[in-house]
Amino acid sequence: MTDIPSGVQGSLPEIVQNKKNFYEGDLTRYFCSAFYYAHNMNNPYHNFRHMFHVVWLCYQAGIFYSLAPRPFRNLLIAAIFHDFDHTGLMGNDDVNIALAIRGLEKHILPEDRPHFAEIAGLVRSTEYPYKQYSEGVELLAQILRDADLAQALTPVWIQQVVFGLAAEGRLTPAEVLKQQKPFLSGLKLSTEWGRTLFPQEAIDAKVAEAEELLGILESCSTYPA
């Protein structure tokens, strides 16, 4: 296993076309399937940006762990499909997982069909709340879960998480912002890769940021409309 190389970023074309030859084949057909046929590309949170941010992070993790080409490919396919056709509604995540598996089954390529069960299992591992603690699932599932949660720790979290989840949960952005401290305070990334990318001090800083923003918003409540 190696540290995350400082020069590895991975543009979307680089990842989709496998220009660095890190995994088997390429993901061109799967990218096109999501781009043209997934019905959730414009959801407030579970949208194209979220799906392919997860793909991008899984690509970084695959390099970090020097994954073998086949498992690496399985992980990336699962990342593409983990929220495929998401309803854009909070709760009943079993419904969203069923839709994602249906999309995977519909669009899976012949060369990947022998690995369908493993890829589908990875997709199922992201059902939230989790049915099994992350410590009890395989490394690929742990990576996918960490990547799925990580958007809460990025600079885009206000738009994606606060406003996006508010719209999907029929909440106000302020209500979601108030949920961030308890959620982030309990956030424990499962993988060494995830903890390297987002150490505890980064999580603590995000909690503090959410608290400061709440304080600013509360001060605004005294302003005239």
pLDDT band at 80 (very low <50, low <70, confident <90, very high): very high
In a domain, 131, yes or no: yes
Closest to 54 in 3D by CA, of 65, 67, 45: 45
In a domain, 5, yes or no: no
Residue 19 belongs to domain with CATH number: 1.10.1300.10
Q: What percentage of the chain reaches a pLDDT higher than 70?
A: 94
The CA distance from 211 to 92, in Å, is 29
The CA distance from 191 to 135, in Å, is 9
Residues recorded for the chain: 225
**Amino acid residing at 81:** F
In a domain, 70, yes or no: yes
Q: Is the peptide bond before 5 cis (omega within 30 degrees of 0)?
A: no
The CA distance from 24 to 15, in Å, is 12
pLDDT band at 1 (very low <50, low <70, confident <90, very high): very low
Q: Is 22 helix (H, G, I), strand (E, B) or coil?
A: coil
**pLDDT(224) > 80:** no
pLDDT at 8: 56
Mean pLDDT rounded to a whole number for the chain:
93
Please identify which residue in the block is written with the tokens 């800083």: 205
Residue 60 CB neighbours (<10 A): 19
Give the mean model confidence (pLDDT) for residues 66-72. 98
Instruction: Write the pLDDT tens digit of every residue in 2-56.
Output: 444 444 568 999 999 999 999 999 999 999 999 999 999 999 999 999 999 999 9
In a domain, 33, yes or no: yes
Q: Is 63 helix (H, G, I), strand (E, B) or coil?
A: helix
In a domain, 1, yes or no: no
pLDDT at 141: 97
The CA distance from 16 to 99, in Å, is 23
Instruction: Write the pLDDT tens digit of every residue in 140-170.
Output: 999 999 999 999 999 889 999 999 999 999 9
In a domain, 4, yes or no: no
pLDDT band at 194 (very low <50, low <70, confident <90, very high): very high
pLDDT at 223: 62
**pLDDT(106) > 90:** yes
Give the mean model confidence (pLDDT) for residues 108-133. 95
In a domain, 159, yes or no: yes
In a domain, 7, yes or no: no
Domains contained in the chain, number: 1
**pLDDT(221) > 90:** no
Q: Which two tokens stand for residue 159?
A: 């738009």
Do 67 and 143 contact (CB within 8 A), yes or no? no
Residue 126 is part of which domain span?
12-220
Q: What is the DSSP string of 76-142?
A: HHHHHHTTTT--S-SS-HHHHHHHHHHHHHHH--GGGGGGHHHHHHHHHTT-SS-SS-GGGS-HHHH
Q: What is the pTM of this model?
A: 0.93
**Amino acid residing at 155:** P
Instruction: Classify residue 18 as left (phi > 0), alpha (psi -120 to 50) or beta.
Output: left
Please identify which residue in the block is written with the tokens 């190389």: 5
Q: What is the DSSP string of 105-118?
A: HHH--GGGGGGHHH
pLDDT band at 111 (very low <50, low <70, confident <90, very high): very high
Give the mean model confidence (pLDDT) for residues 173-202. 94
